[in-house]
Amino acid sequence: MDDLASLSIAVVGGGPTAVALLESLIHSRNTIGPDVSLEVSVFDPTSNPWCGRSFAPDRPEALTNTYTNTMSVRHWQPEHVGIWLKTHGYAEFAGNNFAPRALIGRYFKESARQAASIMEDFTFIREQVTGLTVVDDRVRVYTQNGSHAFDYAILSVGSSDRFDPYGLEGQESFCIRPYPLKDALAGVDLDEHIGIIGTGLTAVDLVMALKADKHRGRITLFSRNGLLPAVRPPSLNYELQRFTVKAIEERAAVKGGLTLADLVHLVHEELDQACTSPEPIKDEIFSTRYGIDRLRHQLMHIDDGRVAYAILIKTLLVLQDAWYFLNPADKARVAGFRHIYCSLCCPMPRTRAAQILDLAEAGQLEVVRGVSSVTKDEGGQFVAVAADHPPFHFDRVFSAGSSGNEPDRKAIPLVDTLLRSGEGRAHPFGGLDIERTTSRLLDVNGRPQPRLYAVGTMTSGAFQVLNGYIVLMRRTAHIADTILQHHQERRNRSSGHRAGDVVENA
Ligand SMILES: Cc1cc2nc3c(=O)[nH]c(=O)nc-3n(C[C@H](O)[C@H](O)[C@H](O)COP(=O)(O)OP(=O)(O)OC[C@H]3O[C@@H](n4cnc5c(N)ncnc54)[C@H](O)[C@@H]3O)c2cc1C
């Protein structure tokens, strides 16, 4: 009997990326080992399986910030999400459009249910994973209630949703988690002066929800740099020709790594190829404008540099590989531009930008930078101090900032066990170190672990760019192929040995 006819896999974290993992595992099984039985267990204590922290049921103002056509759970079928939207009566959200994130959450849930039904064995275990170790070629997964053994394990845990730079947690009228919006905004008085920590897409969701509620009080958004998400340019039907993974690999192979200058050079080649100038991008990167002035300028000029800017957004697809090869000194330099990069490459829809500008011009909304402290005074109001401004007084404060690539707190004990045993090693720029093309964990000696994989936040140091579902979904394809290939090789070796035994016995 073939004792390797089945393959058991633990997926730690049951968010949107896990859905893509299920789909990719089925696809790889069908192409690499069609007779292998897939036995998959997903661990997550969440009350919202498959939605993660960003796609759970919520108000419609919690909107996708990428076109829905980038949100397919199938790497080989990008139109899958559009088909689902059309079949379920939501054609208006398909293609180059944005949708309520809760709707995409429904798509994730339904896709996961279908994928699970195709597998020979599937279990969702509502428990937090607290440890992982490989013993005798099996991965042991520990939870608070016991342990389970698998052939492979994939870490697919997300990032932290806590951002509290001023230590306000626990204060009345301070909301540390802005989602679901429907809970966060419950009880807000229409005349309250609202302070929002953060000026990114979450802050924009909050403003849109307050606007929908016909909020009358002032709204102040504040952050270190005061950069709102840029205004998304019209979509561009263009495929990158020069700034590609292949070009990056070739250049890195010749030079033994990449410099920032190499990457800038490739971007310039790409823009030349598209017969467009880099000037609009340079203008944005090195601009001194911020807040509402910057938004107004972008809305006025968005069509001037739209090709260059749309191409810049597309480079996101390749940036994980580019970052992987970039030398450490340039990685450190680039980190200083992260806020600009996030603003440019995670832009907001033009209609939202126009509404923000309207609120600002009506005197209801402002964007402030350089806030150094937020405290609560004796009267129960929050007081924010910013350079060049009199103190701001807020009735209520929301945290809408980003904790960057800081991992979900629930994942920390698990990562600690891997680091302590040496089965994983810390990446100098955060998270766990992995092999680029397979996402296998590297052990303390830099050896790839064939049984342990990571995708998403835990790969933040290796890949840095994690804020697009399409990027994470594509990595799941590498992982699934690598697991199926590794399993097939073992199977071939095992059947070779058995054939040898038969000949010997004969
Ligand atoms: C507000 C917001 C809006 C976004 N909008 C978009 C968008 O429109 N388009 C887009 O492409 N991307 C968007 N993103 C990026 C988005 O986060 C990712 O695309 C996607 O949600 C990542 O999914 P994930 O499964 O990797 O992580 P998560 O969604 O964070 O899910 C990870 C899961 O792991 C679980 N977990 C953690 N630790 C453990 C443990 N120890 N044991 C068991 N389970 C554990 C958690 O409970 C969680 O359910 C958005 C992000 C945010 C914050």
Report the distance separating Cα 196 and Cα 374, nearest Å: 11
pLDDT of residue 403: 75
- Going across the sheet that includes 371-376, the strands are 371-376, 382-386, 392-394
Q: Please say whether the beta carbons of 234 and 310 come within 8 A.
A: yes
68 lines ligand 1 (CB under 6 A): no
Q: Which of 314, 353, 334 is nearest to 229 (CA)?
A: 353
Burial 466-496 (b: 16+ CB within 10 A, else e): bbbbbbbbbbbbbbbbbbbebbeeebeeeee
pLDDT averages per 10-residue partition of the chain, 506 residues: 83 98 98 96 96 94 94 97 98 96 98 97 98 95 96 94 91 94 95 96 97 97 92 90 96 95 95 92 85 93 84 90 95 85 87 97 96 91 91 96 83 96 96 97 97 95 87 96 96 75 58
Report the distance separating Cα 260 and Cα 248, nearest Å: 12
What distance in angstroms lies between residue 157's CA and the mean position of ligand 1's atoms? 7
Residue nearest to atom 2 of ligand 1 (CA): 54
pLDDT of residue 301: 87
pLDDT of residue 353: 96
Q: Which of the listed residues 69, 162, 408, 417 should we mutate to test ligand 1's pocket, taking the one with most ligand atoms within 8 A of CB?
A: 408
Tell which CATH architecture fits domain 6-160+405-497: 3-Layer(bba) Sandwich (3.50)
- Ligand 1 atom nearest residue 65's Cα: 8
Residue with tokens 């988690």: 177
pLDDT of residue 3: 67
173 lines ligand 1 (CB under 6 A): no
What type of residue is 371? V
43 lines ligand 1 (CB under 6 A): yes
82 lines ligand 1 (CB under 6 A): no
Report the distance separating Cα 360 and Cα 356, nearest Å: 6
- Ligand 1 atom nearest residue 129's Cα: 42
Q: Please say whether the beta carbons of 204 and 322 come within 8 A.
A: no
Report the distance separating Cα 107 and Cα 100, nearest Å: 11
402 lines ligand 1 (CB under 6 A): no
Q: What is the DSSP letter of 151?
A: S
What distance in angstroms lies between residue 15's CA and the mean position of ligand 1's atoms? 6
pLDDT of residue 387: 84
Q: Can you point out the beta strands (E) in 167-322?
A: 174-175, 194-197, 219-223
User: Residues 252-287: pLDDT tens digits?
Assistant: 999 999 999 999 999 999 999 999 999 888 888 888
Q: Please say whether the beta carbons of 140 and 130 come within 8 A.
A: no
The reply to whether 6-160+405-497 and 174-229+348-399 are identical in fold is: yes
Q: Which of the listed residues 54, 125, 159, 345 should we mutate to test ligand 1's pocket, taking the one with most ligand atoms within 8 A of CB?
A: 54
What type of residue is 357? L
Can you read off the two tokens belonging to residue 271? 């823009």
What distance in angstroms lies between residue 359's CA and the mean position of ligand 1's atoms? 31
472 lines ligand 1 (CB under 6 A): yes
Neighbour-count burial of 383, counting CB atoms closer than 10 A to its CB (0-12 exposed, 13-18 middle, 19+ buried): middle
What 3-state DSSP class applies to 153?
Answer: strand
> Based on C-alpha coordinates, what's the Rg of the chain?
24
- Going across the sheet that includes 365-369, the strands are 174-175, 396-399, 194-197, 219-223, 365-369
- Ligand 1 atom nearest residue 158's Cα: 30
Query: Domain boundaries in the chain?
Result: 6-160+405-497, 174-229+348-399, 245-345
* CATH superfamily, domain at 174-229+348-399: FAD/NAD(P)-binding domain (3.50.50.60)
pLDDT of residue 282: 86
pLDDT of residue 107: 98
What distance in angstroms lies between residue 50's CA and the mean position of ligand 1's atoms? 9
Cis peptide before 407 (omega within 30 of 0): no
User: Residues 181-200: pLDDT tens digits?
Assistant: 999 999 999 999 999 999 99
Q: Which of the listed residues 460, 469, 471 should we mutate to test ligand 1's pocket, taking the one with most ligand atoms within 8 A of CB?
A: 469
